[in-house]
Structures are given as C-alpha cells and as structure tokens.
Structure 1
Amino acid sequence: MSQKDTGLPGGPTEQATIGTLVGRLSEQISRLVRAEIASAKTELTTKAKGIGIGAGLIAAGLVFALYALGVLLYAAVAGIANALPLWLSALIVGVALLLVTGILVGVGVKLLKKGTPPKPEITVNSIKDDVTAIKEGLKS
C-alpha cells in the first residue's frame, strides 16, 4: 500500500516532483486569492453599511432641523402676538429639537468619516503579510 504525499510536515518522506509542487502552489495561491477577495467583500460591505447608517442619521437630523425651524418661527410669531408663556414654551421645544439635530448630525458625520474612503484596509494588510510570507518562503 503506497502513501500519498500530503505536503504536510510529518507526512511521508517521498520527494514530490516539481510538477506536484507547482500544482500545490497554484492551488494554494488560488485559495488564498479567493479568501482575500471574500475578506475584501465583507469589509467593504461593513463599511458601506456604516456609510448608509451615517447618511440616514444626517437625513434624520435634517428633518429635525426643519421641524425645529418651524417651531422657532412659530415661537417668534407667538412671542410677538401673545404673552410670554406661549412663545417661551415653543422656544424651549425648538431648542430641544436643535439639540437632537446636533447630536444626530454629529454621530452621522462621525460614521461617514469612519467609513470613508471605502477601501478594505484589513484585507490590504493581510495581502501584504501574505506576499511577505511567500517571499520569505521562497528565500528559504
């Protein structure tokens, strides 16, 4: 019964042919490239989701700003037309809406900055490590 060389340490001591080694190298590089592409897709998808959420929060912040502007305009009109309590309460609501707007836009901008530029940094570093490891392996 013959044993097949698996190419793993501790395997059979038979010498693999150059063709076998080249075939294994080709297969391993192919698997490595596919894995790196999958990693890049995953990383870009994650960043794109962050950008989408950030843009959504900015849009929500702008909607709140629109409502805040309406309330503040109403507060100015009510303040001129009536006594203090009506416009003061409207002013308090308007300022609260502006605070919510500031928080939403701030968080949205932070998420946009975190996700841009949408390049797969982790995958790029992984590929650099792979290339370095292959170069070191060829030198040995």
Structure 2
Amino acid sequence: MTDYTDPVKQARPRKRSLFELIADVPRLVTELVTAEIEQLKAELVAKLKALGIGAGLLAGAAIVLMFMIGVLLTAAVLALSLVMPGWAAALVVAGVLLLVAAILAWVGYLKLKAGIPPLPVDTIESVKRDIDVVRGIRKGGIS
C-alpha cells in the first residue's frame, strides 16, 4: 500500500523555535551589513567611473575650446590686416589681450586679498559666544 501524504505538508520547512531564531540574528545582521557594504562599493565604483569619464570629456572640450580661441584670434588679426599692416593688426590684438589679462588679474588679486586670512573668523567668534552662553558668562561679567 502506498503512503499518500499531503504534498503541501512535505514542502513546508519545520518551524523553528524562538531561541533558534534569536540565535540566527547576529549572522543575519552580519550578512545584511556585508551585503550593504558590497552594494555601496559597487555603486561608488560606478559613480566614480562616470565622474572620471565626464571629467576627461570636459578636459577634452576645454582643449578644443582653447584651439578655437586661437583660431578666432587669428581671424581677428587677419580681419584687422585688411585695414592696417599685418604686424600692426597683431600688435592691436595682443594689446587687447594684454588689457583683458590685466583686468582679470586685478580683479583676481582683489578677491584673493578679501579672502585672506582663510579662517572662518565670524564662525569662530559665534562659537566662542555660544560656549560663553553655555558656561553662563556674559559680556559684562559672570551671571
């Protein structure tokens, strides 16, 4: 005689006790943390690779732009050479470039001077005031 048992009962795993489930928690937490770290690594590698490719393409675009500026300057010299000698046209374009460079350098110098010293002075003073308030010290003396 063949034993016909319920196939649903055969497929069910045995029920584990509460102590067995609690004993598995550290292993499950470790596996979860390990899986999360691996996912983080994979995501960071993909993003850093995309950043590297993007930065390389931007650098290539900047180089092509520099060549384009050279061509435009040459075109300016050639256009001016139609109304004056070529050497004078080149000197005029060079003079304009020198003037633009001097203005940019002056503005840059002023911005650098405004940023010296590179310390967050206002924030430091604010933190000192906050510490004094926590300590109970006022400007006029101890409260």
Shorter-chain TM-score range: 0.3 to 0.5
Q: TM-score, normalised by structure 1?
A: 0.46
Q: TM-score, normalised by structure 2?
A: 0.45
Bigger CA radius of gyration? 2
